[in-house]
Structure 1
Amino acid sequence: MTVTLKLICVLLLFCFTALSSAAKPNIIFILADDYGFNDIGYHGSEIKTPNLDKLAQTGVRLENYYVQPICTPTRSQLMSGRYQIHTGLQHSIIHPRQPHGLPLENPTMADKMREAGYSTHMVGKWHLGFYKKEYFASYLVGAEDYFTHYRCEEKACGYDLRDNLQPVNYTGTYSAFLFAQRAQKIIHEHESTKFQSVHAPLEVPEQYMKPYQHIKNTMRRKYAGMVSAMDEAIGNITETLKEAGMWNNTILFFSTDNGGQVHAGGNNYPLRGWKGSLWEGGMHGVGFVHSELLPNKGTVNTQLIHVSDWFPTIVGLAGGTPNGTLPLDGFDQWSTISQTSSVSPRTTLLHNIDPLSPLKGNKMFNNTFDTRVRAALRYGDWKIITGDPGNGSWVPPPTSSQGTRIDPSYTKDTKNVWLFNIAKDPNEHQDLSDSMPDLVVKMLGMLDQFNKTAVPCVFPPEDPKSDPKYHGGYWGPWE
C-alpha cells in the first residue's frame, strides 16, 4: 500500500513588495504547512534547518506564538485578522468540493496592502475557497502531489496549478523549488509583474533524504528530507533578495499553519497532542521575524501573539489602515516584537468554539458556557479546554528512546473540562480544573461571551458540479 504524506511542509508565501515609497519595507510572509514544533533545528530537532535557524537566531524568535489546529482556520485568520467564530469557519477545513470560502465581505491583508501602495504576490497554497472566481488564488485545494500537482477527492480528480487564472502544467517539478523559483522571479521583476500561483503536499527528491538514513521510521525520514528541501528553498529566496538589493529593507515573517501531524512524520514534542487538537501541540506554533530593520536582533520574545495579529501588524507596517474592515480580533504587535521592553496588547486568545463537533460528556453548568462543546480559550497564563480536544498524548520523535506517554483522559467519555497554567506547565501535564473551580467558572463565562458574538457556522455539502472533469481536468471555480 502506498502511504501518502498529506500536507507536510507545504509552503505558503506572500510577497508584498513596496512600490510607492523607498521608506516602506518589503514584506515577505512564509507559512509552512503542518510544520511541527520539534521539527526546526533551534528547538533541538534532529532535522537540519540551517537557513531557518540563522534567520530566527539573528531575528526575533516568537516562543509564545499561536496558530490554529488546522489549515483553513489559520489561513482565514491570517488573511482577515478575524477569529473563525466571526467568519463562519469554526468547523473543520474547506473541502475541495464545497461551495464555501472566506466570506467576501472580509477585506484580505492583500487588499489592504494594495490600498497602501504595495504590489502583492502570492505563491503557494490558498485553501480559503475557490468555487467562485472572486476567490481565485494559487494552488487551491488543501493537498496535492508534490511532483504532479494532481489531487483526487474521492472519485473527483484533477490538476491544481494556476498562473493567476490560467491552468498550467509543471508535472515533474518539485513544489518547494517550483514556488521558490517563482518567488525569485517575482523579486527580480517586482516593478512590472504581478503573480499569484501554486503549492502542493507529497514527496521529496531522494537526495534530501540521504542525510537522514539513520532515521528508521520511513515517514519521519521522508518528512525530514522535505523540511531540508523547504529550508534550502527559503535560503534561495533570501539570497535572491540580497542579490536584488532588497534584503536590507525587507521584513520576513515565518510561521507554521498548525502543529505537526505525527501520523505523517511531524513531531511537536515535548508539547502535548498534534495537528487537529486543542492541545499545545496542535497550535503552539513555530514562528519568528527577521529583518535588518529590527533594533533587537537575536532576541527571544515570550509575549502572547496570535496568527490573527499579523493582519493589523503588517498592514500597519505598510502604512495602511483597518478602515473598511469588519471588527478585527488581531492586534498590531510590531512594538511587541521590535521593542524588547514592550508588552503584548493581547491578554486573551480565543482558540475556537466549534458548534458542529460532537458533544462530549455531560453539561457541568446551566448558566454559562456548555462544557460539552469543543472549545479553548487562553486568558493570561491560563488555558481552558472544553468538549473533545482530540488525543492529548505526548509523542516523542521516532529517534528518541522515550516511549509515547498516553493521554490519560482520552478514553474517559465524560471528562470535558481541563485547566492549565501554560507559563508554568507549557506541556500540559497538570490539569487544575478540579482544584480551581472559581477560575474555571470565570473562563467559561468568557467563552460564553465570545459565543454570543459568533456568526452561524457554515459547512455546506459537497457540490457535484465541482468535479474537475467538467473544467478541463483542473480544480477551479464552478459557480
Structure 2
Amino acid sequence: MLAVGVLAGLSVLSLLTYGYLSWDSLGLGPGETEAPRAGPGEEQGADAPSSQPHIIFILADDQGFRDVGYHGSEIRTPTLDKLAAEGVKLENYYVQPMCTPSRSQFITGKYQIHTGLQHSIIRPTQPNCLPLDNVTLPQKLKEVGYSTHMVGKWHLGFYRRECMPTQRGFDTFFGSLLGSGDYYTHFKCDSPGICGYDLYENDNAAWDHDNGIYSTQMYTQKVQQILASHNPTKPIFLYIAYQAVHSPLQAPGKYFEHYRSINNINRRRYAAMLACLDEAINNVTLALKKYGYYENSIIIYSSDNGGQPMAGGSNWPLRGSKGTYWEGGIRAVGFVHSPLLKNKGSVCKELVHITDWFPTLITLAEGQIDEDIQLDGYDIWETISEGRRSPRVDILHNIDPIYTKAKNGSWAAGYGIWNTAIQSAIRVNHWKLLTGNPGYSDWVPPQAFSNMGPNRWHNERVSWSAGKTVWLFNITADPYERVDLSARYPDVVKQLLRRLSQFNKTAVPVRYPPKDPRSNPKLNGGVWGPWFKEDEKKKKSDKIKGVNKQKKNKKK
C-alpha cells in the first residue's frame, strides 16, 4: 500500500492507471474522467475570452462513406448524427485515398505534388517525412497565440527528430508515429523480426502508458486532461487523429452488444470499433462543454480516406475503396459543428477539399497567410457557415508518376497531351478524369456473408477493354461513376488532360526512398523512433565538403 500522503499527491487518472481506484467507484466510464478542481485565481472566465475560436479537428481513420448513421448505415453513430444535424454536413467533401497524403494535405494546405509525397504512404522503415521546409498549420496558429496539441496518429514520418510532431508546431504530442498497430499493446511489426513499440509522449516513448488501455479510450482521456488543464479564455488548437477504425480490427467486448447479428466477422468488429469511436467523440464534446470551451469552439470531423471492405468498411453506393481514386476512396464523411455557424442544421453540397482547412482555419484564427507559402487550399468558411458558393472549382486528386501499372497507357491514348500510363485523377466543376490504373473498381454492396472475402462477394462490376486507361464522369449527374463519357466527350477529355499537364509542371520530385536497415526498433531500444542521428548528418556533410575540396584541388 502506498502511504496516504503519496496517494494524495496523485491525480484521479494516475490512481485509476495504477489500480488504486476503479472507474465504477467514481461512477464514470473509461472515457469520462473527473475535472480537476480549479486552484486560487484559476476560476473559469477570470480572464477576458479570446475572439479567436478554439479549433478541434477530429480525424477518423479508414471510415467508409456509408459508415455513419446519417448515410444509412446499420452501425449506430448517435453522436456523429447529432453533431452533424446541428452543424453543417459536407456532402461534396474530398480527401486523399490513403493516410499519409490526407494528413500531409491537411497540415500544409498543399497538394501532394507540391510536397513530394505523391506516391503511396510513408513506410516505417523509410528515411522520409513531411519535408521540413513546409510550414504547418500548428506553426501558423502558434504565431497568433494558440496553444497547439496533437493526440493520436501522426504518420508523417519520424526518421529524424526534426520530423516529430513537437518539431512541426505542436506544443504537446501523445500518440503513435506509424500508420497502424495494436490498439492495446501499441506494438507494430512492419515485417517478420522488424517490430517495436509505438506510443509517444512528446519526443519520448510512453512506456508509462503501456497498461493495456484501448487506444480510442486512452486518447480521449488525454484530450480530457488537456482541456482540463488549459485556460479556456486562451485559444487552443486540438488535433485528434484517432487510430479507429483502421485495422487491426479490435474493440472492447461491450461494444459488440448491438452487432452480434452481423454475420461478417470483420464488419461486426468494425461496427464495434465505430461505436466506441462515436462514444469517444461524445465524451470529447462533453469535456468541451464542461471546461468552458464549447461556445467559442469549431469542431471539424473528417475521415482520412474511404473504407476498406476487406477490413469491414463500406463506401456503398460509391465505387471503389480505400487506396483508389474512385469516389469510394476519396469522398469522405465530414461535417462542421459550432455555435459560431450562421447556417446551422444545413447541408453543404459545394466542393470542399482537405487542403481547404489550412487557409480557412488560419483566417478564423485571425492569422496571416504569407504569399510565399503558395497554398492549394481555399478559405471556405463563408461557404460552410453562410451557404455561399465555394471558391473552389477544381481538385487535383493526384499525379503519381511512379505508379505506371497501366500497361497500355501511352501518349497516343492521351492525345499527345498526357501519358495515360500515369495514375492521375482530376476534378474540374462537374467533370472528373482518371488515367492509368485508378485501383480496385467494384461497387461493394452492403454484405452480410460470413467467412467470405471480397473476391467471392456479389460485387457489381462493369466490363471495359483491357487496354483502357482514360475515364471521364459527370460526378454531379453520376456520383457513382457508372457511365464513362470519355468516348462521347473527347474535347472535355483533352481539356482535363491539359489541366493535368499544367499541374504537373509545378510538381516537385517524388520522395520515396528505399528502406533503411537502421530503422529496426531492435537498434533503438525496441521502439519505433528517429534513427538518423545528428552526428551522421555532420559526417555526411563533412564527407561532401571533403569531396568538393578534392575536386577543387584537382582543378588547380
TM over 0.5: yes
Match of 1:167 among 167, 185, 205: 205
The aligned residue for residue 92 of structure 1 is: 120
Q: How far apart, CA to CA, are the structure 2 residues paired with 1:441 and 1:20? A: 57
Q: How far apart, CA to CA, are the structure 2 residues paired with 1:195 and 1:424? A: 38
For residues 22-421 of structure 1, what are the structure 2 equivalents within 5 Å?
22-137=50-165, 138-154=175-191, 155-169=193-207, 170-191=210-231, 200=243, 201=246, 202=248, 203-323=250-370, 326-340=373-387, 342-360=388-406, 361-363=408-410, 364-365=413-414, 367-399=416-448, 403-409=458-464, 412-421=465-474
Q: How far apart, CA to CA, are the structure 2 residues paired with 1:167 and 1:290? A: 34
**Long gaps (5+) in structure 1:** 1-18
TM-score when scaled to structure 1? 0.92
Alpha-carbon offset, residue 26 of structure 1: 0.5
* Preserved CA contact (<8 Å) 1:123 1:183: yes
Q: How far apart, CA to CA, are the structure 2 residues paired with 1:463 and 1:406? A: 40
1:108 maps to a residue whose letter is T
Alpha-carbon offset, residue 396 of structure 1: 1.1
Q: How far apart, CA to CA, are the structure 1 residues paired with 2:515 and 2:394? A: 35
The aligned residue for residue 3 of structure 2 is: none
Q: How far apart, CA to CA, are the structure 1 residues paired with 2:253 and 2:466? A: 44
Match of 1:474 among 527, 538, 544: 527
Alpha-carbon offset, residue 198 of structure 1: 8.4
Q: Secondary structure at the match of 1:158?
A: strand
Alpha-carbon offset, residue 116 of structure 1: 1.2
Report which of the two has the higher share of helix: 2
Alpha-carbon offset, residue 386 of structure 1: 0.3
Q: How far apart, CA to CA, are the structure 1 residues paired with 2:48 and 2:485? A: 53
Q: How far apart, CA to CA, are the structure 1 residues paired with 2:91 and 2:241? A: 30
Q: Secondary structure at the match of 2:57?
A: strand
Q: How far apart, CA to CA, are the structure 1 residues paired with 2:346 and 2:197? A: 43
Q: Identity of paired residues, percent? A: 51
1:408 maps to a residue whose letter is S
Q: Deviations over 1:405-450 (max 9, x none)?
A: 02424xx431000000000000000000010011001110100111
Q: Deviations over 1:209-266 (max 9, x none)?
A: 1210110000000000000000000000000111112111110000000000011000
Q: How far apart, CA to CA, are the structure 1 residues paired with 2:471 and 2:459? A: 21
Alpha-carbon offset, residue 359 of structure 1: 3.7
Q: Deviations over 1:73-101 (max 9, x none)?
A: 00000000000001100000000010001
Q: Secondary structure at the match of 2:269?
A: helix
* Equivalent residues, number: 458
**Long gaps (5+) in structure 2:** 1-46, 166-174, 450-456, 533-556
Q: Secondary structure at the match of 1:209?
A: helix
* Preserved CA contact (<8 Å) 1:163 1:198: no
Q: How far apart, CA to CA, are the structure 2 residues paired with 1:383 and 1:196? A: 31
* Preserved CA contact (<8 Å) 2:59 2:240: no
2:230 maps to a residue whose letter is H
* Preserved CA contact (<8 Å) 1:85 1:352: yes
Q: How far apart, CA to CA, are the structure 1 residues paired with 2:239 and 2:314? A: 31
